[in-house]
Structure 1
């Protein structure tokens, strides 16, 4: 599943008896913390509900000002039969799989039919490789090509196949999660 800033995240986790492994309620309601890129994000509140013996739900809303590429982790702390434990119930990267919207940026790289740069592209090298770039404006509107290489420092996207026309500054595009 892919998440974006502003989305609500929900799921389940279980508490088990330390000796028998049977579902059992924790000694008290478990607590949770959200980590943003490895640091506790105190601004996010996690709601935990005991729905039946040993089964709990969690939910939290991702702040709207968090960014694609941010690494999110939810850790739950629980004590069962006087034994404390911490576990990760969900971990993901925001918008890692689909629907990333960008515009072409010609500030540092002049676009050609085989490469261009993206405004606000993600930081990691190769993170867009194999995904499709689809133009939603400009001369290439409606056309899609697979990304052959991505440079997270320069935000340059390379294509093995040429576009009919070189994109221009401000052309809108979307990188979708289909991979080749």
Structure 2
């Protein structure tokens, strides 16, 4: 991986936004010490029919997750280890831990996902299809697709070694979402 794609470990300026869920403006607001952004109010962190956490409980939970993830990130990036990993190692040592801290229960998809006559190789779903009854109002909803790509893979560019006609990870995921009833997904580059 060339040096321009290796983020500095003491910085969050390497966050690159794409799409409309996490915009540059939202990320900028969230980096401020105080924010009035409605998306970070404690009640948005409770599942339906659950009591929302207090502000201090939420801050403690986020702080614990942040510290655990930051410690793991530092371990993996100290000698640029993460950036040389293949996708399997990167998933096991970093990406799946990140998703679990975010409340997902990633399930590897051994077979291509199918929708509208389209078959796509997307790596994970956010939780088991049969285990959704524990998700309150989410019961009966499709688990979001959690698609992961190797460190250094650009999300909007097809892999260099991809066959003719291959699409970028972003285009592949969007094509699947357009053909399916599932409208939720996360696309993550391991580094």
- TM-score (normalised: structure 2): 0.23
- Larger strand percent: 1
User: TM-score when scaled to structure 1?
Assistant: 0.24
